[in-house]
Chains A and B, each alone.
Chain A
Amino acid sequence: MTEKKGWKDLMRGADLPPASSLEYKTGSWRTSRPVWDPDKCTHCMFCVAYCPDMAISIVKSEEGVKGFNGRIYKGTVRLETDLDFCKGCGICVHECPTHAIEMIREEEATSSK
């Protein structure tokens, strides 16, 4: 008879650290990229909520930022799209109510640099 083992004696399976996917940059999949124009943005958060890749970060801004119609938008505001992870699906461009984001081809974006 083999010795009885409890669950604590079992070999651990594959356990991975949380959010280790951050090391895998999905931005390399992109063929087009979204270009955001802060001057047209109302910080409505649609793009943030719809971005499937959580590639649009937000911050709290007490002093506010200048946006659509020259207005100052206070509170939760969006930042630049994180191109390390943006796959270029274009949902943000499609859903933006003020057309503050446009899609350009990657080669166009990289050649103008």
Chain B
Amino acid sequence: MATLQEIMSKPVGLAPGHRMCAGCGIGSIVRAILAASDKPVIIANATGCLEVVTTIYPYSAWKVPWIHVTFENAAAVASGIETAYKSLRKRGKIDKDVNILAFGGDGGTYDIGFQALSGALERGHNFMYVVYDNEGYMNTGNQRSAATPYGANTTTVPAGSKSFGKPQWRKNIVEIAAAHRIPYAAQATNHNIIDLYNKAKKGFEADGPAFLAVLQPCTTNWRFDPAATMAYSKLAVETNFWPLYEIEKGKVHINHKPKNRKPIEEFLKGQGRFKHLFKDENKHVIEKMQMMVDKEWERLLKLEESGIEL
């Protein structure tokens, strides 16, 4: 197992000078993931925060080959890169081993890029898809996505006297990815860099497609103090809102089981997007949220315990 010292000593694939918001943790996610590859990496990056902030013309923050693709087709382009690479290799035109990586935000993954992602996973291309999940369309100003949690206030599902915010629970993207019978799917956060690194390593080494969902608390549109980004990641895990787990060849393994599960309010409080939930009339929303979090966690525990292959 690598230590944090060892991980940080690896070459850094992303340069400073990018224009992520102060306190945006995507930089830490990209750094840890690129550190986990011992081979050169080729990246296809869907439109989204990461793409916008790293490549404002005429600057690029990338130190590795990187292609910007549209919102919907990061996985399709990664498939094409992988196929071209295999063909070049077969014809003896290239002899290097490479890793192929796709980055997308939750908008480009849960919603717009979903069809291309499903296709790529089904065809079994040897690549890893990483979604940095900030739970909404954040660089365009907080519109809801399929990853936005229940009860969150967004500009397209605003909270008010007739609405408590988003009325739907978020899509379970990791299990959807795993349902394609891919060798590796996992959920991670940026506060636990070693866990994230280990998962990225497994994803790169998997024989076939790998899928990794990483929580990225958005200081701008979740509306909290920029210094608290990693703290919110941690709270998401400690409240079981975002469990750290992996699905290896269909088998669920939970990487961290909080000893004393914190109530969901701990995660919600201090976030502007959930502020309205603390009003008396919205008490039932928090209660329902707690119920759903607990139910999902119980289900995950049962899946792990049973050893059933998903």
Query: Interface of A with B (CB < 8 Å)?
Result: 14, 16-26, 29-30, 44-46, 48-55, 58, 60, 75-76, 82, 84-85, 87-91, 93-95, 103
- Is B54 in contact with A94, judged by CB distance below 8 angstroms? no
- Is B54 in contact with A53, judged by CB distance below 8 angstroms? no
Identify which of residues 13-54 in chain B touch chain A, using a CB-to-CB cut-off of 8 Å.
14-20, 22-28, 31-32, 54
Complex alpha-carbon distance, A22 and B5, angstroms: 24
- Choose, from B56-64, B239-247, B265-273, the stretch at the interface: B56-64
Chain B neighbourhood of A45, CB < 8 A:
4-5, 8
- Is B8 in contact with A48, judged by CB distance below 8 angstroms? yes
Residue of A nearest to B5 (CB): A76
Contact of B22 among A50, A87, A93, A94 (CB under 8 A): A87
B7 at interface by CB-CB < 8 Å: yes
- For the complex of A and B, the 8 pairs showing the least CB-CB separation, nearest first, are A21-B17, A90-B227, A52-B27, A89-B23, A87-B22, A85-B16, A19-B15, A21-B61
- Is B9 in contact with A76, judged by CB distance below 8 angstroms? yes
Shortest Cβ distance from A96 into chain B, in angstroms? Answer: 11
Complex alpha-carbon distance, A26 and B16, angstroms: 8
Identify which of residues 222-245 in chain B touch chain A, using a CB-to-CB cut-off of 8 Å.
225-231
Identify which of residues 111-169 in chain B touch chain A, using a CB-to-CB cut-off of 8 Å.
none
Residue of A nearest to B31 (CB): A54
B83 at interface by CB-CB < 8 Å: no
Residue of B nearest to A15 (CB): B60
Query: Interface of B with A (CB < 8 Å)?
Result: 4-9, 12, 14-20, 22-28, 31-32, 54-64, 190-191, 193, 219, 225-231
With A24-B19, A49-B28 given, name 15 new contacts (CB 8 A): A14-B57, A19-B17, A24-B59, A26-B19, A46-B4, A49-B7, A50-B190, A52-B25, A53-B18, A54-B12, A55-B16, A58-B9, A89-B229, A91-B226, A94-B231
- Is A85 in contact with B26, judged by CB distance below 8 angstroms? no
Most chain B beta-carbon contacts within 10 A, residue among A18, A26, A46, A55: A18
- Is B28 in contact with A85, judged by CB distance below 8 angstroms? no
Chain B neighbourhood of A88, CB < 8 A:
22
Chain B neighbourhood of A90, CB < 8 A:
23, 225-227
Complex alpha-carbon distance, A95 and B229, angstroms: 10
Chain B neighbourhood of A52, CB < 8 A:
20, 23-28, 229
Residue of B nearest to A30 (CB): B22
Q: Name 6 interchain pairs, CB-CB below 8 A, sorted by A.
A: A17-B60, A26-B17, A49-B193, A50-B28, A50-B191, A53-B20
Shortest Cβ distance from B223 into chain A, in angstroms? Answer: 15
Complex alpha-carbon distance, A29 and B20, angstroms: 11
Complex alpha-carbon distance, A90 and B231, angstroms: 12
Shortest Cβ distance from B21 into chain A, in angstroms? Answer: 8
- Is A94 in contact with B227, judged by CB distance below 8 angstroms? yes
Chain A neighbourhood of B227, CB < 8 A:
89-91, 93-94, 103
Chain B neighbourhood of A21, CB < 8 A:
15-18, 54, 59-61
Shortest Cβ distance from B94 into chain A, in angstroms? Answer: 17
Residue of B nearest to A44 (CB): B4
Shortest Cβ distance from A74 into chain B, in angstroms? Answer: 11
Chain A neighbourhood of B12, CB < 8 A:
54
Chain B neighbourhood of A82, CB < 8 A:
16
Shortest Cβ distance from B163 into chain A, in angstroms? Answer: 32
Shortest Cβ distance from A94 into chain B, in angstroms? Answer: 4
Complex alpha-carbon distance, A20 and B230, angstroms: 28
